[in-house]
Structure 1
Amino acid sequence: MARPRRALRSGRLRKDLRRQLLPAAQAPMTDSGEWPPAGATELLWCVSAPPEGRLMLAAYAKRTYQIDDGRLSLADEQIPLVVEPVVEEPDEALPSWLKDDTDLLAPKPATDVVVMGAAHALEPTEELHVSVAAGRSVRRLCVQGERRVEMGADGRAEFSPGASFDSVALCPQNAYGGRDLHAQWALEEDELGQRLLDLPEPLRPQETVWLYEYPRNPVGQGFFLDVDRLRADGARLPQIEDPGDRLTPERLFRRAPTAWIDAPIPGQLGWVHHSWYPRLVRYLGKMLDHDPPERELREASFPDGDDLRLDHDDESSRVDPRALQGASPGLAIERLCGGEQVILENLHPSRSRIELSLPTETPKLRIRPSHVDALTPAAILQTVRLEPDRDRLSLTWVGAVPLLGPVDDDFIMNTPLRVSWQRG
């Protein structure tokens, strides 16, 4: 039985994707033994821009602001650029998840809006809605207290009422998804080519990709294949859901591994891992087998997911530029430029609603390679990171110019970059 799915989950895939998008040779170490310098908020880097993979010299500038009841001021602590993706890997045998993505990517088609924190109720409750809006990028989610699956003897599922809560972490572990290890054990062949169960169609293994991990979120709750239903009794259910695509008892069990496409999408406001759907297909084409959708693809209902209605070419070596987008569906719709209104609801421990405007100051970038005139690429806003629990907002900007070919270590290390900030 083929196992291409397992290859897609390997650490090697993540490294291959990184080489594809961040091809710069590592510059020599500084006197402190580090490159880039620790704490850098301004940096030059060489990146590969999809779809053609053209090399570009990119200048990055990041600025962090303190939020005080909707008013912004420059933060005392400036958060450095994220060089390597921050990946949480609890165990080699378990899937990883993306806590924070690298800042060092080619210019993105749109600005990623990412919320890192928790849902908060000012008084204990069983359910509330959280939302974020920045310009036209909007996402609303339903948050519930802890619930469990209750299985009847007839194999029918019910969901327990939600427990009372005052805070729920906005992490993929609390959203829909997961890995069905029981089904993997039951459905895979042993050394003698035997299986634990005499399986009916459509669960009989075939020469296709087998999906025991939910491709949208393999670290979440509630993903079950329709094998041994009673074993789901007492299982945790997702606490964070998309209100337009919620899990119901009727949707709890997937009839086949390839029916994952019609399962609920995870309720997230944070980052989408590079090897999760839909980001993976934008990198590598149609690599994830699935049945024809029986319902409208939820991601495609957002303005930043219209490309998912089409089949990505699995024979093309090109990376779709939208693969650079790491924000959750609905939160990478347009390129923001500063001044847009931001609204946060039920995302702060002491305020149910926060309204602010993005800073209007932008970086003026000046690159001074030797023997050529200074380069002044226009800066675009790559990423808006919102951390309401810390009353913090960070903006990452980039300006890039095309290169005729690869550059060596000395070029990156010795080319001066000057950043000055000006109000728009």
Structure 2
Amino acid sequence: MKRKFSSILMLASTALLLVACAKNQTTTPTDQVAPEKTSSSNSQEPVKVPLTLWHYYTSEATQNALTKLIDDYNASGGKAQVKQQLIPRDELMKKYTLGITTGDLPDLAVIDNPDSAAYSAMGLFTDLTEQFNTSSHNQFQEGPLATGTYQGKLYTLPFRYNALAVWVNTDMIEAAGIDTMPATWTGFLETCKKLKDTNPGVYPFAFAAAKSEEGTFQFIPFLYSAGGSVDDMASEGSVQALANIKTLVNTGYASNEVINWAQGDVEKQFAAGNAAMMLNGSWQIPNLATDAPDLKYQIISLPTDGKNASCMGGENIGITTSCDNIEAAWDFLTYATSKEISIAFNSSIGTISPRSDVTAEEQYPDNEAMQVFAQQMAYAIARGPSPKWSEISENIQTAIQAVLIDAETPEQAGSAAAKKIAEINATLN
């Protein structure tokens, strides 16, 4: 019995000695305890999802504003880490087209608003309808929001917008004895006559009518103001709009060179004092400050021939079909188009927030000129949306050119355009 107890005691002592030795052993890196590692990992911030964004913003001011927006987001608690890439516009559109087939696309893509429907139809963008409808982040103006839709689904969100208005040389208007700016088309023609009589060497008005998208862009306000429509260029209002721009050239109120002018050319004419008024957008403000820093001007709405109208320009932003993490991309998208960020981004580059909960006074409290541009968004017309917009626009450009060079009457040009546009639209049914 004593021998048995002695054996048990010896075994217990041995066990205690082994435990003590184990506690005193030095732990090597491969012996680290797993639970402690897990605890340390959980205390770190979640890893952000890397995303790429393609855009065509070559303007230094816009590049700087976009970089600030992205840097601020990356430094925030957002779910993604966004990296941008600038690609010249023509090259970018080709890369989008090729990438739809090859899958070589960014996660996020900026696109001109009239191109949104066409590239959505081609398969560039992910359907965001569900995310948008279930989000509290959905306060956008009707027109800009419509440009991002295709077949009743939403593919892109409005990002940066602008609209057209009339710029007026204040000194020339005062010299002509004009106290009140015209609100109607008839009054506008009377104002042009007074300006021409006062200063025969200066054209009263300048606008862009080049055979390009800029020509269509600047014609849209004339078209809808007169009661016309892109979908029926043969209508009475559409024909009247063509007749109106023809009148401007035939009377010498506008130069016959408008058929060659892009919007940048129009700005140069206004800055040089060759035109008393011009149709243009807010993006020309920094250009005019450089070209004619002492020029005094005011901004007014385009005189109406029936109803107020302008045309909206600008871009949308969407998530591509190559994006693997829609949740992270949507997180960035809602940040970039949120009210606070939208105001800051657009205000810094002289463009307009497309959000419906942002007022002109709120975005530009001390800038009356920009307030007028912002107000134009209330009745700015979207180009399209249509997956065949580029073809539709080309026929409008052809009609404008034909009328201004006296190759066709407004009725003939409008009828020809209407027939071709109807054929284009028929292919969409």
Q: Calculate the TM-score normalised by the size of structure 1.
A: 0.28
Which has the larger share of helix? 2
Which structure: larger Rg?
2
Which has the larger share of strand? 1
Q: Calculate the TM-score normalised by the size of structure 2.
A: 0.27
